Amino acid sequence: MGAAGLLRAALWALLLPLVAADEGILHASGSGVPPITKDYCIIYNSNWVSLPKTLDNATFRTLENLTSTVLCSSAEVPSGLMKDKAVVVMRGNCTFLEKARIAQSLGAKMLLIASKSRLSAISDNKTDFEDVTLPIALIRYNDIVDMQLVLGKEVNVTLYSPPLPEFDYSMVVIFLIAVFTVALGGYWSGVAELENLKAVASPGERETRWKKEENVTFTPVTVILFVVICCVMLVLLYFFYKWLVYVIISVFCLASAMSLYNCLAALIGEIPFGQCRITCSNKTIEVRLIFLAIFCTAAAVVWAVFRNEDRWAWILQDILGVAFCLNFIKTLKMPNFKSCVILLGLLLLYDVFFVFITPFITKDNNGLNFYGNDKNGASIMVEVAAGPFGNSEKLPVVIRVPRLEHSASTLCDLPFSLLGFGDIIVPGLLVAYCRRFDVQTRSSSIYYISCTIAYAVGMVLTFVVLALMKMGQPALLYLVPCTLITSSLVAWRRKEMKKFWKGSSYQMMEHLDYTGNEESTASATEQSGGQ
């Protein structure tokens, strides 16, 4: 799931290093009245030091900024400068514990090590330095710069590590958005299928309809080709992220604007007001659709300009993302259950490979990945989602909702709960097929309702495992079995598995028997309804 992988990859932090790596919070306070405070992410080793769980038990220290030195020698700093202070120095040239021993000998009470690269585990051998007792933590260099700009030169800091929340209630919002989008996309696809069936009775419209359907139908061959393209695209993103990320952003803006237009145009079409038209190039168009196109384009442009504004840009991204998923589910047509099984199965295997297997491929003989910045091989999906080289630009292929529970994870990992578009679109295509099959066989929506419920159950199962394991989960690992098994059981129970597997024959009959006469058309329609 190129889409599904990138979609969900933002959630995952799999294949953790074997050394201890604990997330904590540095709480910084300025010297103003009232003092300005701000929290920053830190990484520490709980085997070396135990941090308080709340601010109530934390001790504040004055911060001494010594990022001009790496502190590999006590001669690098004047005597007495560190006494009873928290000290921040640069990473490099010597081990963390060697720096800590020097800082402790000079009277420091806390050591912060600033890193310009991505934060990683602290893995020195503590047994070689049993006499080191001061807290040691790794912090981003950019956070130190931000601290000086926001809080001023006189800053007091403390460290603490609050426990992880049992459940992040933003997941409830994610759940509602996902189920709503899948259900509505499937229903919309069924409405389009019903209109297509009615159009079969009109010989003048039949050929046009057939060509249109042929362009958006996923066959088993095109499914395989689609997955191969996704694989190639993901690998290219891994190596050329800094350039391709802007291509993806541009494509998202264009596709989401068109999708939002299609979704809103379908709603506006049901309103019997404001239908005045103008003539342009011998064609007439409704004025309200012109304004709608301008509005949708403006929405995509505003998002593109302010996409890194975390306070509100996520709302616009989610609206555009939901429209994109709805239009994708409605437009791409799975012709039968066989194609659905191939698509969902291949994307599930794709997910597993690029998350679990690629870390062994990206690791070279020296224990570094292709970028040379991680001793443990990195998952290609995780790297692409996080942005290789620490790139601040993120791929806009996820639904984002701010986390409602305050914890170190919101600072160190992602301040948002995420669900990839693929986790909506991929199962959504199966739900849409079930809805169309219901329409073709007049089966009272049993397939559609069952598959939608199965999708909701799969999402709940994903969140339960997430809460229990405290680790991001690949949603398709639960969504694919839930939806495929449920759909199969319904078809088997109704003794329609053969029809469900091969799909309705009304399209094939229409294509093969098309002669332009009413008898052939009526026969194809009757066979479709009789199934």
**310: helix, strand or coil:** coil
The first and second tokens of residue 112, run together, are 């912060």
The first and second tokens of residue 512, run together, are 């093969």
DSSP letters for 443-498: -TTHHHHHHHHHHHHHHHHHHHHHHHHTS---THHHHHHHHHHHHHHHHHHTT-HH
Q: Is 423 a catalytic residue?
A: yes
Q: Residue holding tokens 């919101």? A: 410
**288 in the Ramachandran plot: left (φ > 0), alpha (ψ -120 to 50) or beta?**
alpha
Residues 345 and 331: their CA atoms lie apart, in Å, by 21
Element containing residue 331 per DSSP (H, E): helix 313-331
Q: Is 19 exposed, middle or buried (0-12, 13-18, 19+ CB in 10 A)?
A: middle
Residues 185 and 333: their CA atoms lie apart, in Å, by 12
Active-site option among 143, 351, 374, 438: 351
The first and second tokens of residue 79, run together, are 């005597």
Helix axes 220-239, 337-352, angle to 10 degrees: 20
Buried b (16+ CB within 10 A) or exposed e, 88-112: bbbbeeeebbbbbbbbbebebbbbb
Residues 342 and 345: their CA atoms lie apart, in Å, by 5
Active-site option among 124, 318, 423, 438: 423
Q: Is 168 a catalytic residue?
A: no
Q: Which residues are tagged catalytic? A: 351, 423
